[in-house]
Amino acid sequence: MTITATVPTTSASRYLQQLCKHWSHKFEVQFDAEKGDIAFPMGSIHMEAQPEALLVSLAPNPDADVDRFKQVVADHLDRFAFREAPLPFKWQ
């Protein structure tokens, strides 16, 4: 199962990099200015920066609390996007 959200923002690359750097102290992370992957305990997180949006994909582990997983990611991104928070996450 993969859950995705397209989050409108013109600061996608900055938020992607901030979140990856933030979690790189605890989890395995790979990122550049356009893409980021985080091996999060609840499952993997993949992000892609576009000019007008941040694409966020979650691949929860079978035993993960999916609602909690979505909330943790959204809350952390909102901290970095405090000037435009809360960001609209429409998970699908």
What is the model's pLDDT at position 23? 97
DSSP for 18-75?
HHHHHHTTTSEEEE-SSEEEEEETTEEEEEEEETTEEEEEEEE-TTS-HHHHHHHHHH
Model confidence over 59-76: pLDDT tens digits?
Answer: 999 999 999 999 999 999
pTM, to two decimals: 0.94
What is the model's pLDDT at position 19? 96
- Give the residue-averaged pLDDT of 5-13: 97
Model confidence over 27-48: pLDDT tens digits?
Answer: 999 999 999 999 999 999 999 9
What is the model's pLDDT at position 80? 93
